Structure 1
Amino acid sequence: MRGMYRKLETAVVIPCYNEEKMITKTIKKLPKYIDHVIAVNDASTDDTIRVLNKLKKQNDRLIVVDNETNQGVGGALIAGYNYAIEHTKATAIGIVAGDDQFDSSYLEAMLDDFIDQSADYVKASRFFHREAFKTMPKYRQFGNIFISLLTKFSTGYYSITDITNGCGWLRRDIIEKVDFSIVEKRYDYETSMLTALSIVNAKVIDHAVPAHYGDEKSTIKLIPTAWRNLKAVWKGFWRRIYYKYVLYGFHPVALFLFTGMFFLIISLLIAGFLLCVKLFAHQSPTAGSVMLAVLPFVLSVQLVLTALTIDVSNESNNFKK
C-alpha cells in the first residue's frame, strides 16, 4: 500500500459541490499516509470536475466519483462509502469537507483514538475548545447548540457534541451494517446518520478539533436548515425508539413512553372537551372534572421523564463492546 497507518488501510471521502476554488487546497493538505482519496463530484455546476480530473493526473491515490445528479452532501458521502467498500480494502474510512473548513492535520490523532479506543466512529467536535464560540459566527452558535440539544434525544448519544460536524473516521464493518435508506441526503445527513449508527449499536466518540472556517462563505440558510433538521430529529427519534426498544426486543423505555403519550392524549381530549363546554354551553368545569384532565397529564409527564431517564442511562449500552 502507499502509506497505511499503524497497519491500517485508510480511505478518505470528500463530498464536492461547486468547490472549484477550495478542493485543490483541501486535497493537497491531506496526510501522505492516507491510501485512497475518494472525491465525489455531486453534479457541480462550476469547474469542480475539471479541477478534480486535473488533480487526478498528478495524484495517483485520488479517485474521482462523478454523480450524474445532485444528491446532497449525504448522497455524495454514501456514494463515496459505497465506492470505498466495493473497490478498496480500507478498514478506516474518513470524511473531510471539500471546502477546507476542516484541518486535516487532526486526522492522525483522530485515527489514534479510532484504533486505541476501538471506536466505530470518531467525529470532530469544535466545542471542546474555549475559543470555538469566539471564532464561530453567532448564527452558527445558535444553530449548532439548538440542533445538538435536540439530536441528543433523537440519536441516544447524549454525550456527543457538535452534531453538525461530520468529519472523522468510520469503521468499514459498521458502514456495512448501516441501513442507508433511513439516512437523509441533504444538510440533515449528520443527524440521521447518528440515528442509524445508534440503531446498530455503534460506539461513537468525540475528538477535540479547533474551529476553522477557511475562505469560503457558508450558503446554509438558518431557518430552512433548522426546519429540515427538526423534521429529521422528530423522525429519527421515533425511528430509533421503534428499532431499538420495540422491534429488536421490547424494552421498558417503549412501555413508559407509549403509556405516557397515551395518557397525554387522554388529558388533552378531556381538557378540550371541558373547554368546549365552557365556551359553548357556558358551564364552568367542576374541580373534579378539572382533575380528570390534570391527573392524566401529570402521570404522562412522569412516565415520559422516566423513559428519557432510562434512555440516558442506557447510553453506554449503545456502544458495542
Structure 2
Amino acid sequence: MKLAVAIPCYKVRAQILGVIAAIPPSVQRIYVVDDCCPQESGKLVQDQCTDPRVRVIFHEQNQGVGGAVRTGYRAALEEDMHIVVKVDGDGQMDPALIPHFTRAIERGKADYTKGNRFYRPESLKGMPPIRLFGNAALSFVNKLSTGYWSIMDPTNGYTAIHTAVLRELPLHKLEQRYFFESDMLYHLNTMRAVVHDVPMDSVYADEESSLRVSKVLPEFLVKHINRFFKRYVYLYLLRDFNLGSLYSLLGLLLCAVGVLFGGWQWWRSSMTGLPASSGTVMVAALPLIIGIQFLIAFLHHDVERVPTEPLSLDLTDVETGASANPIER
C-alpha cells in the first residue's frame, strides 16, 4: 500500500527539517503544507530539503491546522495514495511510530488510527498539568459527542486514515482549527468507521504552541454538545429508529414529567404552606427515577454500537488496492 505523510507547518522552522529526515523510507510521499507560516517554513524546505518524496504546498492565507491537513488529504487523493498519516512539524510526534499507526489499517482492522498519550502512566511524563486536565476533561465529553466510547485523548493529532474512507468524508465541512481532530471523529462515527487508539508518549521540547486550553475548553464543550445532538438525531431518529431511540425518548419524557410535576407541587406547597403528601412525592419521584434508568440504558446501548467492521474492506478492492468508489464528495 502506498503511504503518504501530511505535515502542516506553522512556526516550525527550527524543527521541520528534522521531522522530514526522520520519516521512514516506507513512506512514498510527504506533503509539507505551509499554512502561511510567518517563518517561511515551506520555503526553507524547498531550499534545503533534497528528499525527492517531498512536495511543498503553500497557503496564501492561514487556514489553521485542520485546513492544512485537508490540503494534504486532497493532495494524497489526487496522487492515489492508500493511507495518509498526519504528523505535526513541531517535533512532538516521533515519525518512527508511523508503522504502528498504519499497521491496523493495512491489516484491515481499522479505518482510522490516532495516538493516545493516556495509555500508559509513563507516557504522561512531561505533559503540562493544564494540558493533562484539559485533555482528560475533553476525553469524556468526546465519548458522548462522537460515540467512540473506547477512545481517549481526542485532541491528539497523530493520525492515519485509509483513503477509501477519506474519499467518503465531506472534507469541506470539517473544522479548520483545533477542533479538527474531534470533528473528524464525529464524522467518522456517522459513517460507522472503525477507529483504533495507538499508544504513544507525549513529547514537549522547545516548540511554540498557540493553543490555550483555558480559551478553547469552553468552545470545545459547546461544539461537543452540538455534535452529540446532531449525531443523536441522525443515527437514532433519521437513519434508524431502534431500542436506543426508544430508551432515550421515554427517558426524556419521564424525566420531564417528574421534574414538571415535582416543580409544580413544590411551588404549590410553598404558596399554601402545606407539605406535600408522601404519595405526591412518590408520583413526582417515580417517573424521574425510571426516566434516569432509561437514559442509562440508552448510554449502554450507544456504547455497544461502537463500529467494529472496517468500512475500507467494503470500499476498497483488496486485491488491486483500487477504490471501489473514486468519487470524492
Superposed pair shares fold, TM > 0.5: yes
Structure 2 gaps of 5+ residues are: 314-329
TM-score (norm 1): 0.88
Q: Distance in 2 between matches of 1:291 and 1:236?
A: 36
| Equivalent in 215, 230, 252 of residue 261 of structure 1 | 252
1:57-206 equivalence runs, <5 A? 58-86=50-78, 88-206=79-197
Q: How far 1:213 moved relative to its partner?
A: 2.0
SS of the residue 1:267 aligns to: helix
Relative distance call for 1:244 and 1:55 in structure 2 (3 A) is farther
Instruction: Give the conservation status (yes or no) of the 8 Å contact 1:198–1:318.
Output: no
Secondary structure of 1:307's match? helix
Q: Is the 8 A contact 1:123 1:168 kept in 2?
A: yes
Report which of the two has the higher share of helix.
1
Q: 1:253 to 1:34 in 2, by over 3 A?
A: same
The answer to whether the aligner puts 1:50 opposite 2:43 as a matched pair is yes
Q: Secondary structure at the match of 1:127?
A: coil
Task: Considering Cα pairs closer than 8 Å and 6+ residues apart, tell me whether 1 or 2 has the greater RCO.
Answer: 2
Contact 1:182 1:196 (8 Å CA) reproduced: no
SS of alignment partner, residue 177 of structure 1: coil
Q: What is the SS of the residue equivalent to 1:131?
A: helix
Give 1:281 deviation, angstroms. Answer: 5.3
Q: Which shifted more, 47-56 or 32-41?
A: 47-56
Matched, 1:25 2:18: yes
Aligned to 1:135, the other structure's residue is in SS state: coil
Aligned length: 312
Question: How big is the alpha-carbon RMSD for the aligned residues of Structure 1 and Structure 2?
Answer: 2.2
In the aligned structure 2, how far is the partner of 1:156 from the partner of 1:209?
22
Contact 1:14–1:77 under 8 Å retained in 2? yes
Is the Cα–Cα contact under 8 Å of residues 123 and 200 in structure 2 kept in the other structure? no
| TM-score, normalising length: structure 2 | 0.86
Larger mean CA deviation between 310-319 and 91-100 belongs to: 310-319
Q: Is 2:6 the counterpart of 1:9?
A: no
Instruction: Indicate which of 237, 242, 252 corresponds to 2:233.
Output: 242
